[in-house]
Amino acid sequence: MKQLKKWLAALAVAAALPVADAAATVGGVDYSPLYDFHEFYFATHGRKFRVVSSGNPFPALPLDVMQARILPVMQANRPRPRLTFTYEVPPEPPRPEYRMVLVFDPANDLGAQRVCNHDFRHRPQTPGRVYVFAVYCRNDQVMSQTTAWTDATSPEDPRLGQMFGELFLVLFTELPLNRRFMPFGIWR
């Protein structure tokens, strides 16, 4: 009974918080039938995972400074594999080439297939708002895609870190997709 009272008190406190404290919103998501979290995990665990970035959500900062300051924020909120985010382009592209593409302030009609083929277009930026279109690519194939946005004033703003944490949980979901679970295994 004491546990129930504590839980109800915590719920009442959480319900009393203003809606403005919500740090991030993750938009719709789309997964390829080929998406498999285990493939992502084994391809990235203990390795460098390339990030391609287009656009600058903080125009007061030079692009290279913004990228250098956002990388540790992404790393601190990384998905489950022990990967290391990097902007480095390997001298010899790996096959398959896995990468995450972040397009800040994307054009409204920009699609994930174009993003995986290195075609980026942008719309005018909303000051104080970070809006990103995130696409997980394998070679030129789209594995998953989503959008996220939050209000943030700098790369170190805690709301930006929370946005990346939520975005990674959706973009690299561990939930099974298009699979039926049976008592003795998985049927595909």
Supply the pLDDT for residue 7: 40
* pLDDT single digits (tens) 136-171: 999 999 999 999 999 999 999 999 999 999 999 999
The torsion angles phi and psi of 77, rounded to 5 degrees, stand at -115, 20
Statement: residue 40 has pLDDT above 60: yes
Per-residue model confidence (pLDDT) at position 93 = 83
pLDDT digits (tens, 9 = 90+) for 83-134: 999 999 999 988 999 999 999 999 999 999 999 999 999 999 999 999 999 9
Question: What's the token pair of residue 100?
Answer: 């995450």
The conformation of residue 141, written as its DSSP 8-state character, comes to: E
Span 64-90, average pLDDT: 96
pLDDT at 47 over 70: yes
How far is Cα 134 from Cα 55, in angstroms, rounded to an integer? Answer: 12
The predicted structure's pLDDT at residue 10: 40
Which pLDDT belongs to residue 178? Answer: 54
pLDDT attached to residue 4: 38
Residue 175: its pLDDT value, please?
Answer: 87
What pLDDT score was predicted for residue 176? 74
Sign for the CA dihedral angle at 75, 78, 81, 87 comes to negative
Q: How far apart are CA 31 and CA 36, in angstroms?
A: 9
